[in-house]
Amino acid sequence: MVTRSSPNKDQDHGSPPKSQDLLKTPSSELCRFTDHKVDQFYTRFPPGTVFCPFDSSLKSDSVSPVWVCFPAAPFQIGYSHPFPEITQRFFTLTSLCYNQAMPMLWRVLYTLKQIIRDEGLDFNLSELSRLYNLVSHGSQIFLFKAKPQQLPPLLKTTKNDVCWRNQFFFVRETLFL
């Protein structure tokens, strides 16, 4: 990825991310999301955010005490970081990493955020749990599934996203240190 808002290009960027070996087929989930693709939404992060240079050997399960892995999906639909309160509460409550959430899950959370904002609703996660079950789709990834015998509460959120697991990047910013 591209380093941005960094006054000294030679500064220490911290330890590189290391794989946790959680992926069943790691070679099929290498990062293919390059620097020029990140340019589309780097402005969705606060000033001072540093993007890790692109490294094709990185995997979406990589962790580091300095770098935070983000999927591209939420930023492609309009999210900015820091995420809105309901999104932050969801990830705190479930203890999921951002890359464990399938794009469908991001679309539901984003749509709810928009509805809450536009309609001035008081909506919390217990209400979300009445609408959806959080289910695993295998390989440590999750999505929302409408409750049995219930129509999907939000339409057009189940679009199939091809190669979304390969679209991720790492950032370092003061919010995470």
Residue-wise pLDDT for 5-50, tens only, equals 433 333 445 677 777 777 777 777 788 899 999 999 989 999 888 8
Count CA within 13 A, CB hemisphere, residue 28. Answer: 8
Domain boundaries, the chain: 26-172
- β-pairing verdict for 168-172 and 68-71: antiparallel
User: Which phi and psi angles does 71 have, rounded to 5°?
Assistant: -75, 155
Arithmetic mean of pLDDT over the chain: 82
90 Cβ neighbours under 8 A, 6+ residues apart: 109, 125, 128
Nearest alpha carbon to residue 177 among 6, 11, 55, 13: 13
The kind and range of the H/E element at 144 are strand 142-146
SS3 (DSSP) at 14 = coil
| Confidence (pTM) | 0.82
Burial 43-79 (b: 16+ CB within 10 A, else e): eebeeebbbbebeeebbbbbebebbbbbbbbbbbeeb
Tens digits of residue pLDDT in 74-99 = 999 999 999 999 999 999 999 998 98
Q: Which band of pLDDT confidence, cut at 50, 70 and 90, is reported for residue 172?
A: confident
- The predicted pLDDT at position 174 comes to 58
